[in-house]
Chains A and B, each alone.
Chain A
Amino acid sequence: MAMTRREWIAVFAAGLAAALWYLRDPSWLADQTTGLRGWERTADGNGHRWSGGHASFFVPADAHQVRIPVATTFDAREPGGDRPMVVAFTIDDVRATRALLDDTSVHEVVLQMPPPGSRRLRRIDLRTSVTREGNRGVKVGAVSMTPDGVNWRPCCLLPR
């Protein structure tokens, strides 16, 4: 039996509503990153991913705090390669904190997360004030979270 135009519109509207409902908070977001290159292993067994001038990733929305290890290089032989770098963090596009990197050590940036909302994940963006040669921003290590401010566990950007 052929469907009428009204029935087609109803099926289309139902499909669209279902797709939008799914896309509001999809589980695949947890693995979604932008502006981050592949993992590089360091001699001490840890790893990091280089960001560009802008990178983003997702963390669980039930985190109370999130800890992000960042570092960069200082090389006077590169043009502007020894300039201090400011890394600005936002949570779901709301400004969260800034970190000044003026040496090569790893800085552990702790973000105070807002109360959980209607989504399972929150997006964290970082932007660097300058980049090093090859559009490298910061080295980002494995991210940890705590739901209560006491017990920390790795949650995101885990080495593979």
Chain B
Amino acid sequence: MTRLPRWLAAAAIACLAGYIYAYASGRAGMPIRSDAFSYYVYLPAWALYQDPSLQAVADDCCGGEFPDWTAIIRWRFTRQWVNAHPIGEAIMIGPFFAVAHALTRWTNLSPDGFTPYYQHAAGLAGLFYVIAGLWFLQRLLERYFSRGVTTATLVTLLAGTSLYHYATFDSTWSHAFTFVLFSAFLERFDARRQGRISDHVILGLLAGFLILVRHTNVLIPICFYGWDLVGSAVRRKISAPLVPALVATLVVLPQLWIYYRATGHWFISSYGALGFTFDSPHLGGVLVSPTKGLFFYAPLLLLAVPGLFALPGRLRAWRVPLAFLLVVNTYLIASWWDWQFGASYGHRGFVDLYPAFALGLAVTFAAVADRPPLRAALAGAAVALCALSLFQMLQYWHGILPMSDVTWAQYREVFLRWP
């Protein structure tokens, strides 16, 4: 049996400590809130009320009508509920929900899906999946990098970006769930063997769940399998990924059925009238602005960018699909009508892509591993950036750093300020 690496056990304890602090101090409210409500709501609807229409939950929680903030809307023509958020996260929380339900019965709390055990089952599920994602990334990175580089990469990814925040304070958002699925997808895609059917089935499952957690995640399998297909076509030995495609389709079918049941259509825009503004993307806003810039709040990731061009071994073949994935996803995020993605620490849209950045970060760390002066300088910078990221995250938790619409003047005013 593989033992959990010590650093990963320490990371899990650190995340658990942060989680307990966030909720025991009352900073975070309850785990199932805001977007997390609509990602989670399928579980009580299916498991407690046997009602796929969601109406029973609406009756019980909300007087028959979901409030606007839930992003669950009545479809105009059928008056059925359509949830903007798909079912994948709820399925992944399922095992935790089952334990919570048994405990709820045991303690005699109200078994309505929203009492404390259910709440923290959902919250701890997100935490668990971030740790699991780090474990998958470790398996992948250790094939190409030393243990030291791998550990340094993943520790800095956790502490130097918003990943820790999405493992603790906002662990019920979908990002923790995409993070583990994308990490596992990369790990399996790298390790797959053409003749081993189980690899293709697992990759199909992962691709299906990626789509079920967030529909735009469909880009991940498309980029990797698409580039593979191009390569095989160039070699005139076309091998279409039929097994993964078939498995992924089967996994996604229940979601399509839910859409069909509610609207009469298999494919819909579950966000209703909300959508993209492709002709005016906020690229600067999502990448470098103090409002929500990825590199502004996680400057450590700048170290990952050059590394992505120098991936080692078999990973070199991933340069094009990774570049395509990062560029297209950035354009999509920057074009979303609410390009800030509401309240978040850093830009939460990019948390889903952190596994890709981990690869670039590892390359950069490996490049200086044998050069002591550079290694010391980079280690010093990485520690400082991790400290800055964690400090700003605590500022966010304590309401010092605004949740959205941060201006440069506001940022300067609160920079390194406590309380």
Contact = CB atoms under 8 A, between A and B. Distances in A.
Interface in B94-117: 103, 106-112, 114-116
Q: Which of A53, A127, A128 has the most CB of B within 10 A?
A: A53
Contacts of B59: 53
A24 B114 contact: no
A54 interface: yes
A92 B60 CA distance: 17
Interface stretch (B61-69, B246-254, B364-372, B391-399): B61-69
A56 B59 CA distance: 15
B115 to A, nearest CB: 6
A99 interface: no
Contact of A52 (B61, B106, B107, B116): B61
Given A127-B60, A130-B63, A54 B108 contact: no
Contacts of B110: 34, 54, 56, 123, 125
A32 interface: yes
Interface in A114-146: 119, 121-123, 125, 127-128, 130-132, 135, 137
B60 A34 contact: no
B107 A54 contact: no
B63 A52 contact: yes
A131 B106 contact: no
Nearest to B110: A56
Q: Is the interface of B mostly helix, strand, loop or mixed?
A: loop
B63 A123 contact: no
B67 A32 contact: no
Given A34-B112, A34-B114, A34-B115, A26 B63 contact: no
A109 interface: no
Given A23-B103, A34-B114, A34-B115, A29 B108 contact: yes
Nearest to B63: A131
A11 interface: no
A53 B63 contact: yes
Contacts of B61: 52-54
B252 to A, nearest CB: 33
B62 A53 contact: yes
Nearest to B60: A54
A123 B108 contact: yes
Contacts of B67: 135
A54 B116 CA distance: 15
B46 to A, nearest CB: 18
Interface in B11-52: none
Given A34-B112, A34-B115, A135-B67, A24 B60 contact: no
A121 B112 CA distance: 18
A131 B108 contact: no
B107 A26 contact: yes
A24 B104 CA distance: 10
Contacts of B111: 93
Contact of A123 (B62, B109, B116): B109
Contacts of B106: 20, 23-24
B68 to A, nearest CB: 12
Interface string B100-137: 00010011111110111000000000000000000000
A128 B63 CA distance: 8
Interface string A27-47: 001001010000000000000
A93 B115 CA distance: 15
A135 B116 CA distance: 21
A23 B112 contact: no
A121 B107 CA distance: 10
A105 B219 CA distance: 59
Contacts of A24: 106-107
A90 B92 CA distance: 32
Given A34-B112, A34-B114, A135-B67, A53 B107 contact: no
20 contacts: A23-B103, A23-B106, A23-B107, A25-B107, A32-B109, A32-B115, A34-B110, A52-B62, A53-B61, A53-B62, A54-B60, A54-B110, A56-B112, A119-B108, A123-B110, A128-B63, A130-B64, A131-B63, A131-B64, A137-B63
> 9 closest pairs, A vs B, by CB?
A131-B63, A56-B110, A53-B63, A135-B63, A54-B60, A23-B107, A135-B62, A34-B110, A123-B108
Given A24-B106, A93-B111, 11 more contacts: A20-B106, A29-B107, A32-B109, A34-B110, A53-B61, A53-B62, A54-B112, A121-B108, A122-B108, A131-B64, A137-B63
